[in-house]
Structure 1
C-alpha cells in the first residue's frame, strides 16, 4: 500500500510503501487527527517507522502502489 503524507511547512511529502491495509492506515490517521494520539506512526515494508506530529499533517493519500513500466512500448 502506497501512502503519501503532506506535512505543513515542508516542501516535500513523505512517501512510503506500507504492508498495512488501507483500513488500518485510515484508522491510524483518523486517530491521530482526532487527537487520540499525538503522533501518526506508520511502518514501511523495510521495517522503518515513520512518525509525524498529528498537528502538522496537511493531507494523507492512500493508494495502491503504481506498477513501473519498462521498455519502449506504445502509450
Structure 2
C-alpha cells in the first residue's frame, strides 16, 4: 500500500510502500494524532522505519500502489 505523509513546514511529502493493512495504518495515525504517542511510526516493505513527530503531521494519504508499465505500446 502506498502511504503519503505531509509534514508541516517541509517542501516534500514522505512517500513509502508499506506492507501493513489499511486498518493498521489508520489505527497508528489516529493514535498519533490523538496524542497517545509523540511519534507517527510506520515501516516500509524493506523494513525501514519512518518516524514523524505527531504534532508536525499535516496529512496522511492512503492508496493502492501504482503499477509501472514496462515496454512499448501503441499510442
TM-score (norm 2): 0.94
Cα RMSD, aligned residues only = 1.0
Q: Does 1:34 align with 2:34?
A: yes
CA deviation map 1:17-48 (0-9, x unaligned): 11100110011000000001000000001110
The structure 1 segments of at least 4 consecutive aligned residues displaced by more than 3 Å after TM superposition are none
Q: How does 1:6-21 map to 2 (within 5 A)?
A: 6-21=6-21
- In structure 2, stretches of 5+ residues that fail to align are none
- In structure 1, stretches of 5+ residues that fail to align are none
Q: CA deviation at 1:71?
A: 2.6
TM-score (norm 1): 0.94
